[in-house]
């Protein structure tokens, strides 16, 4: 069983090159997430790299999961491949992810590459050779216009390498949005048409009250594109929790894959308030202190088909 959407967070304390500089409301969110993980607030300025990874490994090893895909986080570039410095508040390098995967067998490496980079295709090939199982990006936060024709060779190389694209869809509130219109799953048509297997993270659901709604658009795209999937990560949040029961039947049930979006909190209270789980189930969920285990356990109680927890094996670029 694989959780295909787990974030790595770090501040560079181990020499990893990671960067985290939350500002404004994002600072509050960062503190809230630390609290959820049972980590001290001082960790942000302390040895966050190692504290975070040790915590994560412990959660994986004490859950029903066999492995988790750990995600790096690319920097923000303009369409000419120049880094937009003032927008770069969070960065997790690809090589740090590979290092962690060498150290811990329960981790599978994702990579993150902005297709505007001059070395994008080279970096993709390099990372594929090192065993990357997917390429992750947040088009709306990293300023990636997936329809830009200049990126077509990059998508074609991804298709050729059998590298799936995990692309964030729907609004985003944990990191800053640069271009909200790139949250629309319809912008993923170019990579889909190039033959890339695309996983729309969060199935296009909205996370903020004023975010546009893309879930139905995502569902309608499934019949047009056999190579389109959706992950059910981050769906135990106040607004997104409404959509889990809508993933149980029809075509979408055959195209979802499990992911948690750790360390984004997974809160069963919303499923209980919406009547998707009863009170005894909610009480049992609250007793599960491991957030990775709680997330998958509650999804099973809601009735997410078992195949959704196994499907990553068919979709990810697993070499053995
Ligand atoms: Zn995420």
Cα(7) to ligand 1 centroid in Å equals 6
Give the model confidence (pLDDT) of 138-195 as tens digits: 999 999 999 999 999 999 999 999 999 999 999 877 778 888 999 999 999 999 999 9
How far does the centroid of ligand 1 lie from the alpha carbon of residue 220, in Å?
Answer: 23
Which is more confident, 154 or 26? 154
What's the mean pLDDT when you consider all of the chain? Answer: 94
Q: Compute the distance from residue 16 Cα to the ligand 1 centre, in Å.
A: 20
| Predicted pLDDT of residue 70 | 98
Kindly tell me if the per-residue pLDDT of 259 is higher than 70.
yes
**What is the full DSSP assignment across the chain?**
-EEEEEE----STTS---EE---THHHHHHHHHHHHTT--GGGGTTTHHHHHHHHHHHHHHTSS-SEEEEE-BPPPB-TTS-B-GGG--EEB-HHHHHHHHHH-TTEEEEE---TTSTTHHHHHHHHHHTT--EEEE-HHHHT--TT-GGGHHHHHHHHHHT--EEEE-S---SS--S-GGGGSGGGGHHHHHTT--EEEEGGG---STTSPP-HHHHHHHHTT-TTEEEE-TT-SSTTGGGGGGGGSSHHHHTTEE----BTS---THHHHHTTSS-HHHHHHHHH---HHHHHHHHHHHHT--THHHHTHHHHS----
- Read off the pTM: 0.95
* 46 C-alpha to ligand 1 centroid (Å): 23
Q: Could you say which architecture CATH assigns to the domain 2-315?
A: Alpha-Beta Barrel (3.20)
Distance 188 CA to ligand 1 centre (A): 17
- Give the separation between CA 250 and CA 80, rounded to whole angstroms: 42
Q: How confident is the model at residue 320 (pLDDT cuts 50, 70, 90)?
A: low
Per-residue confidence (pLDDT) for residue 283, from 0 to 100: 97
177 Cα to the center of ligand 1, angstroms = 13
C-alpha of residue 264 to centroid of ligand 1, in Å: 7
- CB atoms near residue 38 (< 10 Å): 9
Cα-to-centroid distance, 167 and ligand 1 (Å):
9
Structure tokens at 173: 């509130």
State pLDDT tens for residues 74-111: 999 999 999 998 888 899 999 999 999 999 999 999 99
**26 or 214: which leads in pLDDT:** 214
Task: Assign 33 a pLDDT band (cuts: 50, 70, 90).
Answer: confident
Q: How far is the CA of 201 from the centre of ligand 1 (A)?
A: 7
Give the pLDDT score at 319: 80
Distance 232 CA to ligand 1 centre (A): 10
Residue 305 pLDDT more than 90? Answer: yes
Asked if pLDDT for residue 40 goes beyond 90, the answer is: no
Q: How far is the CA of 260 from the centre of ligand 1 (A)?
A: 8
Q: Reply yes or no on whether the pLDDT at 30 is more than 90.
A: no
How many angstroms does the Cα of residue 320 sit away from the middle of ligand 1?
Answer: 26
Length of the chain equals 320
């Amino acid at each position: 069983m694989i959780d295909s959407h787990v974030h790595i967070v770090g501040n560079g304390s181990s020499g990893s090159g990671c960067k985290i500089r939350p500002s404004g409301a994002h600072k509050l969110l960062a503190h809230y997430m630390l609290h959820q993980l049972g980590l001290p607030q001082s960790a942000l300025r302390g040895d966050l790299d190692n504290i975070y990874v040790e915590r994560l490994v412990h959660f994986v090893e004490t859950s029903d999961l066999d492995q988790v895909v750990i995600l790096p986080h690319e920097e923000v570039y303009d369409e000419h491949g120049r880094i937009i410095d003032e927008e770069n508040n969070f960065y997790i390098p690809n090589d740090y992810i590979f290092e962690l995967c060498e150290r811990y067998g329960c981790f599978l490496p994702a990579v993150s590459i902005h297709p505007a980079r001059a070395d994008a295709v080279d970096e993709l090939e390099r990372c594929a050779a090192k065993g990357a199982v997917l390429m992750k990006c947040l088009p709306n936060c990293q300023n990636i216009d997936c329809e830009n024709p200049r990126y077509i060779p990059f998508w074609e190389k991804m298709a050729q390498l059998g590298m799936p694209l995990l692309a964030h869809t729907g609004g985003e509130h944990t990191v800053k949005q640069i271009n909200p219109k790139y949250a629309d799953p319809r912008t993923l048509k170019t990579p889909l048409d190039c033959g890339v297997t695309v996983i729309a993270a969060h199935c296009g659901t909205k996370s903020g009250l004023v975010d546009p709604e893309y879930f139905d658009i995502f569902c309608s795209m499934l019949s047009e594109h056999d190579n389109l999937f959706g992950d059910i990560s981050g769906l135990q949040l106040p607004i997104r929790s409404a959509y889990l029961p809508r993933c149980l039947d029809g075509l979408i049930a055959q195209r979802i894959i499990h992911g948690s979006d750790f360390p984004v909190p997974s809160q069963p209270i919303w499923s209980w308030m919406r009547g998707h789980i009863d009170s005894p189930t909610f009480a049992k969920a609250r007793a599960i202190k491991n957030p990775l285990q709680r997330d998958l356990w509650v999804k099973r109680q809601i009735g997410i088909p078992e195949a959704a927890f196994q499907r990553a094996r068919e979709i990810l670029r697993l070499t053995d």
